[in-house]
Structure formats: structure tokens, C-alpha cells
């Protein structure tokens, strides 16, 4: 018993102050919200051809757009761009309630809204989630699991993963939704009582990720279920996920104002 | 000893035509004899050739620091190896499922991952197959999954029980199948490195390192020493993070909460060290064929060393607490025991094999990259139970910390991080083994006339080890399953591909 107490004293209290205190320090090489500059030669397509998952396109106005829902944040485009017009900044606030809001255009980006009226009304003080991995590679799974450890402690906000869909208010889905998991995902969703929400976590769950257009899998959760929150990344940093969950519930979070 | 199989080095490319192609009978005898003499089957797979198929076997002879590759041509069936060589079981089921080649005499060709047939494109309905069954008074079955209670990947488990005692555990996987091997053929392309990094996402560095070794062998380039060192540092950080997480989870499964909570956090601290290298906690984007994309400047080196010291200190109290608590030890010892003999027979690899006293470790047995100059000694323990699998992890974490420190304390005067990749040589084949945190990762690739992948075979350590978990459960209480499962902590997606 004394050993346990001694160890407890040595390990100290490590739960972070976020969101009322400062956000944990992010790695200096972290690849967050992409920043696209202009002007860009109209006939250049280096970034589009380099992107392994077709996340970059030209919009109707001819400007370069990057879809964070497809993006793996691998940086291949910024490495390839001959003019250095694409970079990945430190902004970790990437989650969005609408799929369309994840497309980044040139210029200073605005944070997409993540709040859901349904979530704010019913779950803002208690959100129980059933996690379903439907082809997830165990990176998204591991880094949402970490939110339950003492350092992140999302239980502080009443957010918790539960063992049964019957005890859950919604699903947090990872992976592109493999053909072999389709039925299990649908059954799990059907077992969640209404009102219920669905969160798509990671590039695979949003768009299929590296497996987009594979016949063995779907192109993400919203091809099967209605999705209420999208958390981009490969995998999303735990801070991106926690920030997204809190904003989803309409709870206050600090604004990540860092710009590059 | 059977037929002599010419050897190749780990990460060496040879001409595809120099792979010996023999008759089926000597092929069988050679593989069976080599495995009986202590070799491991690193990979066994088929490729279509003309009207039939070419069957390849890659053997790993750890004691002789060699790999061997041998092939035979078959039509649509051949005499199975499994009855004489149980380690071939998974491979033969896979070959049958993918190509419809029937290993005659195989005891039970159950689907292994319910993937589309590479011949007809038809997909069997997942989980629908025949399972072992048991009849009698008080016997019953417990079915679990594919969706589990925790935040983990999907798989289906069936326990055949008599009262609380498990007679057999049947493991039925395939839910994670994403078609990676199919998509790799014809590459490399823009997505190839991303397939590697997400084959088993908790082993991003292990699989990416094997892929890089394949690419570098096929294009005939040497990686700068600094890049090899950074790759090895990242691989050891990956090992540490996963082992520490597993040790915490094992403590949690026996209700010992202090270590569960401390290790949960310390694991995150280690992931943050990886993020210090490349910005991503799992090492994504760090490795690239030819080298690495990020270097370690002196300031970063110092910060890494300082934080590694803090990790070591926190870990020391967390683990000594766990390993000195009689209540923890009583639950770990003699739970889920595998014998060394069984481990050899079914071809167990990695932590699970070293916990049965087998000393095979790719880093020491077939060293690659920075491990050619400094390889952590293989950590073994003899008891084969949950305790051994926990204890080997603890030993390996300690060795990894020492290794990372040695690498960081010996900065190189050179600073070249990557070499340009040359076009891949045509009609070549290579085998690359790395020691992932779970064990042997084997990648086998061959190029066609134009230097594109004719095939790319991936064998994750979990492919060898799932059967080990099934055996570990025999005669155990069903309530010990979470503990046994966590002591192996195998990958579903690495198996399902």
C-alpha cells in the first residue's frame, strides 16, 4: 500500500488544463489545417497529380481547393509544389459538422462549425459512445482510446465509451467501412436508441482514406449512415478529436488562433 | 535435411529466374524438413502462371542468419503440407481462399479472411462457415464479436466451454479486409506507402521499414546511415509505446489500476516522442523509400534525450509496482501457457515466441539497417504464460530505451537523410524482414518486365500468432480470455489486410 502511495506521489497529477486552461503543446512538425496561397499558375497540376487520395482539385472559380476529409496530411503536395503554395499549419481545430465545410480554399481559413443542435440539446453534459472499427487500422482506435487516459480524461465532460450500443447515445466509427463489417455496423447502429448521433473519425471513415474506391470497402461512413460530426486526420491528433467533440456538444473551447 | 535451398540475405534482391523451381514432391520435402530443423515459414503464397500457379515458400533460418526461397508449379491442387507441418496451416487456407488451389489432405480448409476470390471475384459471406462444435451435458458455446466491448478492432471468437473451462477457442477473422495485396500489384504508386503505414496502423514504422527495404533492394540503392539510425529509433519508440500500453492494459485486466493509469499516460508520452520526430504520433510520413523525410537536429536530440529520461523514471515506478504485487503475479503466472515445443510447431514469432524461450528476433538473427551495427539482445523468458509475455515486454522496453539512447548519443557527422530512388529493376524478387513490436514482419515483392510489382506479399506477425492465442485458451477459465488476449495483443487488420 505504501509503495502504491509513493508511486502515486511520484507520478503526480497530470490531467491537462484544456479546455479551460492551455491546450497541450503540439509537436513543431505537426501537420494541421492546410494553408493554400495564391496566385497559382492556371495550368499547373503538380499538387493534384501528387496527392495519393485526390484530395486536391480546382474549384469552379479555378482556385485550388483541398478536401480535409480526404487528406492524409502526408505533405506530399507541399513537398511537390514548385512554388511552395501549400503548407500544413499548426491549427488543430479541424472537426466539422458538415462534410462540405471541410474543403479548404486559398486565404485565411475560417474554423468550420462543429456544433450539432441535437447533440447540444440532448448530450451536452453526457455523451456515451459505442466505438465501431469498420476497417480502421488501429491508429484512430488507439488515439481515441487515449482520450480516456488520465492525461486527457474526457470523462470530465461526461464523454465515455460504453460496451454496448444499447447504452450508447451514438457511434464513433473508424475505418472506411469494409464490406465484411457493413452488416455489423448497420446492426450496431440499429441497436442504438434514438435520438442518436454518428461520428466519423479519421480520413478512412470520412472518405475511404487510402482505400477510397476499393471494391472491398465503402468510401466512408456517410455512404451508409447519416453522419453528424467529421473528425479529419490520419489519424486525428487526440486534441483534434477532443476539441471536435466539445464543440460538437456546444461546449466552450479556446480558439486556436495560431497562424503560419 | 531434404533439399538444399539457396539462401539470400535479408533485403537482398535476386533475379526472379534464379529462384529454384522444383517438382512438388521435393518442394514439400524441403519445406517440411527445414521447418522440422527449426526454420520458420516467413511466407508461402501462390501466383498465377500460365494455366496454373507458381507456389512460393520463403523460409527463415534464424540460427544461420539466412532466408531461403523455393518454388514449385502446380495446376489446381497439390498434396498439403499442413499434416506434416502445422505451421503451414494458415498459409494453405489462404492460398485456397485466394486462388482456389486445393491442398489435398489439408484437415479443414476454413475461410481465413472471407476475401473475394482472386479468380472469380466472388466474396463468401463473412463469418458463415462451419465451426468446431462440442456436445454433452453442461457444454455450451459463447460467441463474441465482431463488434467487441472495448475500443478495438473487430473479430469473431467462439468459445467451446464445459462449465467455465474453455476446451477450445475458435477465431474467425476477415472483418477488416480492405484488399491491400490486390491493390499493391502493379505498383508502386502514390498510395503504396500509405497502404504500408495502415496495414496495421499500430505498426506503421515496422511495415513502412519493410516496404522501404523492398524498394531499396529492387532499385539497388543504399540508405544513408543517418536515415537507418532514425528509422531504428522510430521503430524502438513504436515498440516501447505498444509494449507500455499492453503492460498497462494487462494490469487493468487483473484489476490493478495504478499501473493501468500510469502506463496509459506514459504510452502517450512515447507517442509524443515519435511526433517530435515527424509530427505524427504513429510515425506516419517519417519513412520514405531511400531514407527518411525528417532529421534530428541537435536541439531536438537533446529534447528527446531529456524526455526519454522522464519516461524511464515514470515507467520504472509504474512497472516495479506491477511486477512486485503478488495479486498481479498470481493472475499472470500459469495463465494461458504455451510450451516451447508447441510454439515451434505452429510457427509462433515475436514476443509470444520469446516468452516460450525461443530466441528468434529479426534484429539479432537477420539484422538490417542500423541493427547491423548495434542490435538489442533478444529478450526471452521460459514460462510461456501471460507473465512471460508481460515480462518479455518489460525487458524489451528497457532494451529499447538503452538502444535509443545509444543512437541519439552517437550523432553522425553526415546529414544526408535520403537518396534518390532509381527505377526498380525488372524481373527481380526480394524478401525483407523487420522485427515489428509483435514480431516478424515479412514483405516479399517481385517486379515484372517493366519494373512494376508483379506481386507484393505481406505477412504480419499476427498471421502466425492468432493460432497461438487459441491454444493458450485451452483448459483456461473463460474469464481469463481478456488477459490472454491482451497478452498477445494481435492485429486484426494486419491479419486481414
Cβ-defined contact of A139 to B201 (cutoff 8 Å): yes
Q: Write out the DSSP string of A68-96.
A: TTT-----HHHHH-TT--EEE-S-----B
CB contact under 8 A, B147 and A216: no
Question: Sign of the CA dihedral A2, A7, A12, A18?
Answer: negative
Cβ separation A52–B183 shorter than 8 A: no
Extract the runs of DSSP E, i.e. beta strands, from chain A. Answer: 34-36, 56-58, 64-67, 86-88, 103-104, 127-133, 159-161, 170-174, 197-201, 229-231
Q: Is the dihedral of CA B157, B162, B165, B166 positive or negative?
A: negative
In tens, the pLDDT along B214-266 reads: 999 999 999 999 999 999 999 999 999 999 999 999 999 999 999 999 999 99
Å between A189 CA and nearest CA of chain B: 11
User: B151-177, pLDDT tens digit by residue?
Assistant: 889 999 999 999 999 999 999 999 999
Contact A184 B276 (CB under 8 A): no
Angstrom distance (rounded) from CA A230 to CA B333: 44
- The structural domains of chain A, ordered by start, are 117-248 (3.40.50.12280)
Say if residues A126 and A107 touch (Cβ distance below 8 Å): no
Q: Using a CB cutoff of 8 Å and minimum separation of 24, what contacts does B19-24 make?
A: B19/B56, B19/B69, B19/B70, B19/B71, B19/B429, B20/B70, B20/B71, B21/B54, B21/B71, B21/B72, B21/B73, B22/B70, B22/B71, B22/B72, B23/B72, B24/B72, B24/B74, B24/B78, B24/B79
Instruction: Please report where in the chains the cell 440539446 appears, as a residue.
Output: A121
* Chain A residues whose beta carbon lies within 8 Å of the beta carbon of residue B313: 10
The separation between CA A210 and the C-alpha centre of its own chain, rounded to angstroms, equals 15
Q: Rounded distance, CA B456 to CA B446, Å?
A: 7
Segment B319-352, tens digit of pLDDT: 999 999 999 999 999 999 999 999 999 999 999 9
Contacts of A72 in chain B (CB under 8 A): 194, 284
Q: Estimate the crossing angle of helix B481-488 against helix B386-408, to 10 degrees.
A: 30
Q: Hey, is the C-beta of B53 within 8 angstroms of any chain A C-beta?
A: no
Counting every residue written for chain A, the total comes to 260
B200/A138 Cβ within 8 A: yes
Which H/E stretch holds residue B266? helix B257-278
Q: Is B482 on the interface with A (CB under 8 A)?
A: no
Q: Which of A11, A14, A210 minimises the CB distance to B198?
A: A210
Q: How many CB atoms lie within 10 A of CB B442?
A: 26
Q: Which of residues 91-120 of B touch A (CB under 8 A)?
A: 114-116
Does the pLDDT value for residue B4 go beyond 70?
A: no
Chain A residues whose CB is inside 8 A of the B275 CB are 27, 29-30
Cell of B248: 498497462
CA distance A25 to B24: 60
CATH class, domain B180-496, is: mainly alpha
Q: Are B455 and B99 in contact (CB under 8 A)?
A: no
Beta-carbon contacts of residue B15 (< 8 Å; ≥ 6 apart): B427, B428, B429
List all residues 6 or more positions away from B312 whose beta carbon is below 8 Å from its beta carbon.
Answer: B401
Identify the pLDDT of residue B3: 54
Among B434, B463, B436, B445, smallest CA distance to B176 is for: B463
Per-residue pLDDT of chain A (260 residues; tens, 9 = 90+): 888 898 888 888 888 988 998 888 899 999 999 999 888 887 889 999 999 999 999 888 888 999 999 999 999 999 999 989 999 999 999 999 999 999 998 877 778 888 888 888 899 999 999 999 999 999 999 999 999 988 999 999 999 999 999 999 999 999 999 999 999 999 999 999 999 999 999 999 999 999 999 999 999 999 999 999 999 999 999 999 999 999 999 998 988 864 43
**Domain boundaries defined on chain B:** 7-104, 180-496
Contact B453, B429 (CB under 8 A): no
* Chain B residues inside the 8 Å CB shell of A142: 201-202, 245, 282
Position B134 scores a pLDDT of: 87
CA distances from B400 to B203, B213, B355, B395 (A): 16, 21, 17, 9
B189: nearest CA partner in chain A:
A52
Neighbours of A155 (CB within 10 A): 13
Answer whether A180 sits within 8 Å of B245, measured CB to CB. Answer: no
Question: Of A70, A99, A74, A84, which is closest to residue A36 (Cα–Cα)?
Answer: A84
Nearest residue on chain A to B281, judged by CA atoms?
Answer: A237
User: By C-alpha distance, which of A126, A156, A150 is closest to A20?
Assistant: A156
Strand partners, B48: B53
Cβ of B493 within 8 Å of Cβ of A138? The answer is yes
Distance CA B158, CA B169 (A): 6
- Which residues in chain B are closer than 8 Å to A211, comparing Cβ atoms? 178-179, 183
Q: What is the pLDDT of residue B149?
A: 85
Query: Residue B200 above 60 pLDDT?
Result: yes
The per-residue b/e assignment along A222-236, b for 16 or more CB within 10 angstroms, e otherwise, is bebbebbbbbbbbbb
8 Å CB contact between B210 and B434: yes
φ, ψ for residue A103, nearest 5 deg: -85, 120
Q: What is the pLDDT of residue B230?
A: 96
What percentage of chain B reaches a pLDDT higher than 70?
Answer: 99
Q: How far is CA A113 from CA A8, A154, B180, B347, in A?
A: 40, 21, 35, 52
How many Cβ pairs within 8 Å bridge chains A and B?
Answer: 193
- Region of residue B369 (phi > 0: left; psi between -120 and 50: alpha; otherwise: beta): left
Cβ contact B162:B137 at 8 Å: no
CATH architecture label of B7-104? 2-Layer Sandwich (3.30)
Q: What is the pLDDT of residues B264-286, one digit of tens each?
A: 999 999 999 999 999 999 999 99
Q: Please name the member of B153, B245, B285 whose beta carbon is closest to the beta carbon of A133.
A: B153
3-state SS assignment for residue B45: strand
| Residue B430: alpha-carbon gap to chain centroid | 18
How many residues are there in chain B? 497
Retrieve residue B223's grid coordinates: 540508405
For B233-265, the three-class secondary structure string (H helix, E strand, C coil) is HHHHHHHHHHHHHHHHHHHHHCCCHHHHHHHHH
CB contact at 8 A, A210 and A53: yes
Task: Calculate mean pLDDT across residues B82-91.
Answer: 95
Whether the bond into B381 is cis, omega within 30 of 0:
no
What's the confidence (pLDDT) of residue A113? 87
The answer to whether residue B62 scores a pLDDT higher than 90 is no
- Preceding amide of B295 cis, omega within 30: no
Chain A hits for B154, Cβ within 8 Å: 132-134, 181, 184
Q: Do B264 and A149 touch (CB under 8 A)?
A: yes
Other C-beta atoms lying within 10 Å of the C-beta of residue B195: 26
Interchain proximity A7–B258, CB inside 8 Å:
yes
Do B448 and B469 touch, CB atoms closer than 8 A? no
Question: Which of B195, B267, B294 shows the shortest C-beta gap to A29?
Answer: B294
Cis-peptide into A180, omega within 30 deg: no
| Per-residue pLDDT band at B410 (split at 50, 70, 90) | confident
DSSP H helices in A124-212: 139-145, 182-190, 203-207
Long-range contacts formed by A222-227: CB under 8 A, 24+ apart: A222/A99, A223/A177, A224/A177, A224/A182, A224/A185, A224/A186, A225/A171, A225/A173, A225/A185, A225/A186, A225/A189, A225/A198, A226/A198, A227/A99, A227/A198, A227/A199, A227/A200
Span B51-64, mean pLDDT? 89
Residue A212 contacts by C-beta under 8 Å, 6 or more apart in sequence? Answer: A53, A54, A70, A176, A219
Model confidence at B136: pLDDT above 90: no
Annotate B193-213 with DSSP letters as a single string.
HHHHHHHTGGGHHHHHHHHHH
State pLDDT tens for residues B371-407. Answer: 999 999 999 999 999 999 999 999 999 999 999 999 9
- Interchain pair A178, B149: CB under 8 A: no
Write out the three cell numbers for B161.
466451454
Amino acid at each position: 500500500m505504501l509503495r502504491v502511495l509513493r508511486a502515486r506521489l511520484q507520478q503526480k497529477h497530470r490531467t491537462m488544463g484544456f479546455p479551460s486552461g492551455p491546450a497541450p503543446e503540439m509537436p513543431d512538425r505537426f501537420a494541421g489545417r492546410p494553408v493554400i496561397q495564391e496566385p497559382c499558375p492556371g495550368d499547373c497540376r503538380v499538387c493534384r497529380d501528387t496527392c495519393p487520395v485526390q484530395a486536391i482539385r480546382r474549384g469552379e472559380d479555378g482556385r485550388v481547393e483541398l478536401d480535409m476529409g480526404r487528406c492524409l496530411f502526408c505533405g506530399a503536395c507541399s513537398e511537390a509544389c514548385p512554388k511552395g503554395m501549400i503548407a500544413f499549419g499548426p491549427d488543430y481545430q479541424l472537426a466539422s459538422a458538415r462534410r462540405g465545410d471541410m474543403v479548404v480554399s486559398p486565404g485565411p481559413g475560417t474554423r468550420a462549425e462543429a456544433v450539432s443542435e441535437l447533440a447540444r440539446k440532448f448530450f451536452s453534459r453526457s455523451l456515451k459512445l459505442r466505438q465501431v472499427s469498420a476497417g480502421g487500422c488501429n491508429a484512430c482506435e488507439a488515439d481515441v482510446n487515449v482520450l480516456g487516459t488520465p492525461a486527457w480524461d474526457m470523462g470530465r465532460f461526461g464523454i465515455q465509451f460504453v460496451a454496448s450500443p444499447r447504452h450508447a447515445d451514438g457511434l464513433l466509427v473508424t475505418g472506411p467501412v469494409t464490406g465484411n463489417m457493413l452488416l455489423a455496423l448497420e446492426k450496431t447502429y440499429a441497436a442504438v436508441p434514438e435520438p442518436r448521433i454518428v461520428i466519423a473519425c479519421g480520413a478512412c471513415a470520412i472518405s475511404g482514406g487510402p482505400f477510397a474506391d476499393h471494391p472491398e470497402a465503402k468510401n466512408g461512413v456517410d455512404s451508409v449512415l447519416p453522419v453528424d460530426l467529421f473528425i479529419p486526420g490520419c489519424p486525428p491528433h487526440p486534441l483534434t478529436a477532443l476539441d471536435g467533440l466539445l464543440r460538437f456538444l456546444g461546449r466552450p473551447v479556446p480558439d486556436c488562433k495560431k497562424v503560419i | 535435411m531434404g533439399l538444399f535451398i539457396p539462401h539470400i540475405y535479408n533485403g537482398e534482391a535476386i533475379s526472379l529466374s534464379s529462384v529454384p523451381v522444383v517438382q512438388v514432391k521435393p518442394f514439400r520435402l524441403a519445406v517440411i524438413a527445414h521447418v522440422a530443423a527449426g526454420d520458420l515459414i516467413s511466407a508461402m503464397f501462390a501466383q498465377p502462371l500460365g494455366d496454373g500457379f507458381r507456389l512460393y515458400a520463403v523460409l527463415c533460418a534464424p540460427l544461420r542468419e539466412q532466408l531461403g526461397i523455393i518454388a514449385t508449379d502446380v495446376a489446381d491442387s497439390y498434396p498439403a503440407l499442413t499434416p506434416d507441418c502445422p505451421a503451414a496451416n494458415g498459409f494453405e487456407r489462404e492460398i485456397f481462399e485466394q486462388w482456389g488451389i486445393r491442398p489435398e489432405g489439408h484437415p479443414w480448409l476454413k475461410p481465413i479472411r472471407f476475401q473475394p476470390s482472386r479468380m472469380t471475384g466472388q466474396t463468401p459471406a463473412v463469418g458463415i462457415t462451419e465451426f468446431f462444435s462440442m456436445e454433452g451435458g453442461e457444454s455450451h458455446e459463447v460467441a463474441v464479436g465482431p463488434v467487441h466491448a472495448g475500443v478495438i478492432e473487430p473479430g469473431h471468437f467462439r468459445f467451446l466451454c464445459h462449465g467455465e473451462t474453455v476446451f477450445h477457442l475458435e477465431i474467425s477473422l476477415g472483418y477488416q479486409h480492405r484488399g491491400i495485396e490486390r491493390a499493391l500489384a502493379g505498383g508502386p504508386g502514390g498510395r503504396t506507402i500509405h497502404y504500408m503505414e495502415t496495414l496495421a496502423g499500430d505498426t506503421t514504422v515496422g511495415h513502412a521499414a519493410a516496404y522501404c527495404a523492398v524498394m531499396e533492394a529492387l532499385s539497388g540503392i543504399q540508405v544513408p546511415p543517418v536515415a537507418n539510425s532514425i528509422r531504428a529509433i522510430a521503430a524502438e519508440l513504436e515498440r516501447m509505446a505498444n509494449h507500455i500500453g499492453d503492460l498497462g492494459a494487462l494490469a487493468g485486466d487483473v484489476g490493478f489500476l495504478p499501473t493501468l493509469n500510469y502506463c496509459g499516460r506514459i504510452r502517450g508520452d512515447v507517442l509524443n516522442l515519435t511526433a517530435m520526430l515527424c509530427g505524427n504520433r504513429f510515425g506516419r510520413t517519417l519513412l520514405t523509400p531511400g531514407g527518411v523525410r525528417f532529421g534530428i537536429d541537435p536541439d531536438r536530440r537533446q529534447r528527446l534525450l531529456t524526455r526519454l529520461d522522464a519516461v524511464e523514471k515514470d515507467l520504472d515506478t509504474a512497472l516495479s509496482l506491477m511486477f512486485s504485487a503478488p495479486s498481479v503475479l498470481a493472475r499472470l503466472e500459469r495463465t494461458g501457457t504455451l510450451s516451447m515445443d508447441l510454439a515451434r510447431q505452429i510457427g509462433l514469432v515475436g514476443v509470444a515466441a520469446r516468452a516460450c524461450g525461443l530466441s528468434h528476433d529479426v534484429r539479432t538473427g537477420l539484422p538490417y539497417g542500423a541493427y547491423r551495427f548495434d542490435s538489442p539482445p533478444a529478450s526471452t523468458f521460459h514460462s510461456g504464460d501471460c507473465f512471460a509475455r508481460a515480462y518479455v515486454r518489460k525487458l524489451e522496453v528497457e532494451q529499447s530505451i538503452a538502444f535509443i539512447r545509444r543512437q541519439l548519443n552517437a550523432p553522425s557527422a553526415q546529414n544526408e537523410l535520403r537518396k534518390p530512388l532509381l527505377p526498380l529493376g525488372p524481373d527481380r524478387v526480394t524478401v525483407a524482414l523487420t522485427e515489428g513490436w509483435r514480431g516478424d514482419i515479412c514483405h516479399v515483392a517481385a517486379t515484372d518486365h517493366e519494373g512494376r510489382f508483379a506481386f507484393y506479399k505481406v505477412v504480419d506477425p499476427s498471421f502466425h500468432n492468432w493460432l497461438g492465442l487459441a491454444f493458450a485458451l485451452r483448459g483456461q477459465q473463460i474469464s481469463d480470455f481478456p488477459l490472454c488476449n491482451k497478452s498477445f495483443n494481435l492485429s486484426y487488420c494486419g491479419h486481414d489486410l
